[in-house]
Amino acid sequence: MLLAIARISGTLMTLLVVLTTLWVYLDATDHKIGKQEGSKAFFNMSAGAWASFTLLLWIVGFPSYLIKRSSLIATATANPVGVENRGGKITAFAVIGGIWFLISLVVSLSGVDVALPGCDTADTTGLLKSIALKTPSLLPDDAQFVGIQGAVEKNFDDANQVRTCQASLVTSAGSREIHYTIVWKNRVRALFYVKITN
């Protein structure tokens, strides 16, 4: 649950950065804020530079713009700086920000509320079959794999995300009880592995 909240929060933060970047550029160009010739001040930047600063280093760029905004507007009133190709630059910031947001959204949604698979899911029993077919001690000579039956959960360690299970491995030679665990290999990508423990 906390992982899902963190992912969604990251996506919302990305959206906030993109929207404030667009606002900074629109606000700066509306007020004709720009780089003043002859000034050596640290925050003497063009509207595009302010937007780039906000996009790339939001935690510093956006508050700096808000703090300096009134003095920037006063300077721009006395010495306005026009912008060429405003629409193209807005489009560029929107496209870059939109791509960044979409990537963040896809990453966020790809793993929200991913639960460790159960003892009897198709993915789990498929891995158990694969293990049985590759392990001679589980599948006696000339015995054919029939299936996994009666899979039940014996324990779930929520803190470590380990599910302990028991089932019957059924072959043409009979059946035997197996114990196995299910553990995350990569939770973000929803990859897990199964390990037979007996």
Mean pLDDT of the 149-172 span: 94
Q: What is the pLDDT of residue 190?
A: 78
Q: What mean pLDDT value characterizes the chain?
A: 89
Predicted confidence (pLDDT) per residue in 61-84, tens digit: 999 999 999 999 999 999 999 888
Phi, then psi, of 136 in degrees rounded to 5: -60, -35
SS3 25: helix
pLDDT tens digits, residue range 113-151? 568 999 999 999 999 999 988 988 888 778 899 999 999
Tell me what pLDDT residue 1 has: 47
Strands of the 162-171 sheet, one edge to the other: 145-157, 162-171, 174-186, 191-196
Residue-wise pLDDT tens digits, 32-48: 999 988 888 888 999 99
Residue 187: pLDDT band (50, 70, 90) is confident
Helix 58-78 with 47-56: angle, nearest 10 deg = 170
